[in-house]
Amino acid sequence: MGSKGEQFAGLTVALVTPFADGKIDEAALRALVDFHAESGTDCVSPVGTTGESPTLSHDEHEQVIRVVCEQAAGRIRVMAGTGSNSTSEAIRLTKFAQSVGADAALMVAPYYNKPTQDGFFEHYRAVSEAVDLPIVLYNIPGRTAKNMEPETIARIGELDSVVAIKESTGSMDQASQVLAISDLTVLSGDDSLTLPLLAIGGRGVVSVVGNIIPDDVKAMLVAFDNGELAEAQQWHARLFPLCRDLLGLATNPIPIKAAMGLLGRDTGDVRLPMTPLASGELAELKTTLTGYGLLSATG
């Protein structure tokens, strides 16, 4: 397995950001890191999409990365979200993440301003020249409004510090092309597509559902790695309804925060313009959690 970012293979959990009274709940955030360190999660990724990065202030963004790195204390890797649609801001956030001990930067493609393919390359080149930290690309055109094409990803992947990509296009063709023309480590950015992606050469997942059941996601990855395909398929089938709901009932991270609340691991409400899960969807989520065995039928 010679992919470039092999140290980031396995289970990375895209951490939610806990809030209390409108502020970052530091104690709850530290408890989340402990939970994952003890659960065998390989890596945590704070302040990504699931961590509500768009509605955190710059100070809060840095606070979350600092607290997670402090609490990880070398027990678990930290892949900090440091992407921005401003290259100078991405450089500043990535430098900060490096200064507090992050192991990598997860850098979403510049969003909203829709750069050209050359613009994507120059953005990542500028960051890689300014900061000496492994970079994981994050391609999610459904949120950014512009796809980084496979040829562009391969070109960016030739930069020394760019080691992996979180692949969130939903396209197996795109993922296959990236795997064919680059040596980047490809990580699934969509829980329900993790097993298919592993089958074509992916090496892990940046998981939302891992916030609540990291052991089960890890079990599927390990089964696949061990060549136990039937067991991996069983895990996929078991995980699928939960993966579907957590990314389908409403925009991430609305459902995962609702699920954590239902499971007694409340991390506070989402911040506006995100709104809590509507009652109909909440009932559906309860049914799925009960079916999975996480909630009792009477509760």
The residue among 62, 70, 115 whose CA lies nearest residue 92 is 62
Alpha helix ranges (H) inside the chain: 26-39, 58-72, 87-99, 117-130, 141-144, 150-156, 172-181, 194-199, 214-225, 229-248, 254-262, 279-292
The answer to whether the CB of 45 falls within 8 A of the CB of 75 is: no
Which of the following is catalytic: 4, 166, 218, 257?
166
Residue 150's pLDDT is what?
98
Helix axes 254-262, 229-248, angle to 10 degrees: 100
The larger pLDDT score, comparing residue 297 to residue 176, is at 176
- What tens digit of pLDDT does each residue of 19-37 get? 999 999 999 999 999 999 9
Given 124, 138, 146, 218, which residue is catalytic?
138
Amino acid (1-letter code) at residue 32: L
166 is catalytic: yes
203 CB-near residues (< 8 Å, 6+ apart): 1, 3, 6, 8, 9, 10, 185, 186, 187
Tell me the CATH number of domain 6-217, given options 3.30.310.50, 3.10.350.10, 3.20.20.70, 3.10.180.10.
3.20.20.70
Please state the domain extents for the chain.
6-217
Q: Is 286 a catalytic residue?
A: no
Compute φ and ψ for 45, nearest 5 degrees.
-125, 95
Residue 30 C-beta-side C-alpha neighbours within 13 Å: 8
What is the value of pTM for the model shown?
Answer: 0.97
**137-151: pLDDT as tens digits:** 999 999 999 999 999
